[in-house]
Amino acid sequence: MREEMRDRGRQDGLSPKQGEGGGEMAFGNGDGQKSGQKGIVPILLIAVGVLFFLVMLVLPLVEVIYRSLKDGLESYMNAVTAENTIAALKVTLIAAVIALAVNTFFGLCASWLLTKFEFPGKHVLSVLIDIPFSISPVIAGLAYIMTFGRMGWATPIVEQINEWLGTDISLVFSIPGVVLATIFVTFPFVSRELIPVMQAQGSKEEEAAVMLGARGLTIFRKVTFPHIKWALLYGIILCAARAFGEFGAVYAVSKARGKTFTLPLEIDALYMAGSADSITQAFAVSSLLVALAIIILILKQIVEYCGKDNR
């Protein structure tokens, strides 16, 4: 699949164009053979890369799975089907789905704004959007509490709105709070995937469409969307992965186990319960999250693969 990517690169004029059949041979490399894949250097590099991967990423995973199965399959199943775990799974999914919807909508708007127009303050805006990427989850949680918590300055406003609407929505220590915190930490994920693609695409096609008299939404649907749909899906998947795993920010606004706990919080609760059994259960629930993550990452691979086929 990478070859296809590179082939597209060639056609885009990044490298000398090659003939249909013969040109390919002239370089002496079929698609199966990669450049310089002989000699000691590639083998060394692969060895180093794979070793790093095994030690840094696979070993912690093996540890999680090993410890989750320490007490046998039955207690593993008990842990992952426990009432609290199921409740936490539900909250996690609700929060992730809403965060995805909001961030996708935002990501589309932001990438359109930042790639199709020039305006003063554009770079600052783009940096502001990226802030949640690098912010400490501790700060994210603190910021929400200071704004929407009982002592927060925005709380009277929220209460006023509740009064008008006749509702009783609280933005902290409740599911909406969890959703907001999740949105916060995953905010730039979609826009960040879209912006480079839309930048590379340029605006010529959209401009042509405008000249032909097309309306905004039609242009987006017919012209822009086909180019960015795979990048969009990729961003959504990344966003989902991050949403499932968020701990710090959600921890600040969610305290009720079995009600507003997400999976990472449930894991923490089990681990902190401190008995040998509950620690094993904590790892069992972690393995659930790992499985979720792996499913998502495999999905991501499929999306990448399809994306390269269909373009």
CB 167, min distance to another protein, A: 6
Q: Closer to another protein at the Cβ: 72 or 202?
A: 202
72 vs 216, beta carbon nearer another protein:
216
State phi, psi for 160 to the nearest 5 degrees.
-60, -45
In whole angstroms, how far apart are CA 295 and each of 61, 81, 241, 301? Answer: 14, 19, 10, 10
Shortest reach from residue 82's CB to another protein, in Å: 12
Each residue of 69-103: b (16+ CB within 10 Å) or e?
A: eebeeebbeebbebebbebbbebbbebbebbbebb
Give min distance, CB of 74 to another protein, in A: 20
**Distances from the Cα of 209 to the Cαs of 26, 74, 194, 218, in angstroms?**
41, 61, 20, 9
Measured from the CB atom, the residue of 85 and 177 that comes closer to another protein is 177
Task: Return the number of the residue (5 or 77) whose C-beta is nearest another protein.
Answer: 5
Tell me the closest approach of the beta carbon of residue 30 to another protein, in angstroms.
11
Kindly tell me which of 147 and 229 has the beta carbon lying closer to another protein.
Answer: 147
Cβ atoms of residues 107 and 235 within 8 Å: yes
Nearest to 219 by CA among 196, 234, 198, 191: 198
The distance of closest approach from Cβ of residue 59 to another protein in the complex, given in angstroms and rounded to an integer, is: 7
- For residue 132, give Cα distances in angstroms to 104, 136, 253, 258: 15, 8, 17, 28
